Structure 1
Amino acid sequence: MNQNDVDAQILPLRSDEDVVRLRQSVREQMIASGFSLIEQTKMITAASELARNTLRYGGGGEAHLLKLQNGLRRGIGLTFIDHGPGIPDIAQALTDGYTTGGGMGLGLSGAKRLADEFDIESAPGQGTTVKINKWKPY
């Protein structure tokens, strides 16, 4: 992902209340940046899924909410960081329906579809970092 972050806000993810605060912050940032309601909904949904994964599977962590600028392009970026057990098989974890927690198995793959850009880094015992970006159409 090739961008310059313009402004960053770091939000803790330790409880369900933190997930609610993250959703509110993403909504506010998307509105301030002029995104459509559909684009807002996509990013808030992806943020919610990834934040809940950070809590459930990573034992908590933090989210970085960024205003992005790449030339004339503007966008919003989110980075989710945890120091949990990590993901042994990322390809499998991105498969629709795969779950280790009894859910529907659409969190990671769903977030990937909802974002314009998606990146994940994880290894057993080293935690997980997921980055998503949404760019404003010209």
Structure 2
Amino acid sequence: MTALGRSGDLVHVRQVIRALCQRCRLSLVDQTKMITAASELARNTLVYGGGGTVTSGVVARGSRRGVAALFEDSGPGIADVEEAMTDGWTSGGGLGLGLSGARRLVDDFELESTPGRGTTVTIIKWVR
């Protein structure tokens, strides 16, 4: 588990995810996709969630192997998850591609959020 409390933690998250991707033998393209998605979600956890944690590792489902990352915060949550997942929606000054962009980069994407209680996002990139 990695704490996300300051901007320097984002570099550490990228390094951990890169190492897991290499260990799992994801292709270079899939490594880049997973690292990019994890980086964006870590930044969201820090900026919009007020900080939190990321737990990551190699996972297996049957004969499939992949890299998973779970981002958790206790921030304000997302009032309308469906709206937040649309391209162009932003709660800040960004481009509005964070959540929807991250979802497109990975194979499995799950978001749970409760206003006033926080947000949890789980992503997985499977080896092809």
d(CA) in 1 for partners of 2:99, 2:88: 10
**Structure 2-normalised TM-score?**
0.98
Aligned mate of 1:19, from 4, 10, 32: 10
Q: Where do 1:40-59 residues align within 5 Å?
A: 40-59=31-50
**Structure 1-normalised TM-score?**
0.91
d(CA) in 2 for partners of 1:29, 1:76: 7
d(CA) in 1 for partners of 2:11, 2:66: 21
2:79 corresponding residue in structure 1: 88
Matched, 1:31 2:22: yes
Matched, 1:99 2:90: yes
d(CA) in 1 for partners of 2:28, 2:126: 14
Per-residue deviation, 1:29: 0.8
2:59 corresponding residue in structure 1: 68
Give the alignment's Cα RMSD to 1 decimal.
0.6
TM superposition outliers: structure 1 runs of 4+ over 6 Å = none
Deviations 1:42-88 (A, max 9, x none): 00000000000001100000001021011111011000000000000
Matched, 1:134 2:117: no
- Mind listing any 5+ residue stretches in structure 1 that lack a counterpart? 1-9
d(CA) in 2 for partners of 1:131, 1:69: 15
SS of the residue aligned with 1:51? helix
State the identity %. Answer: 55
d(CA) in 1 for partners of 2:7, 2:26: 26
d(CA) in 2 for partners of 1:70, 1:91: 28
Amino acid at match of 2:60: Q
Per-residue deviation, 1:22: 0.4
Amino acid at match of 2:34: M
d(CA) in 2 for partners of 1:88, 1:78: 23
Alignment coverage as a number of residue pairs = 128
Matched, 1:123 2:114: yes
1:78 corresponding residue in structure 2: 69
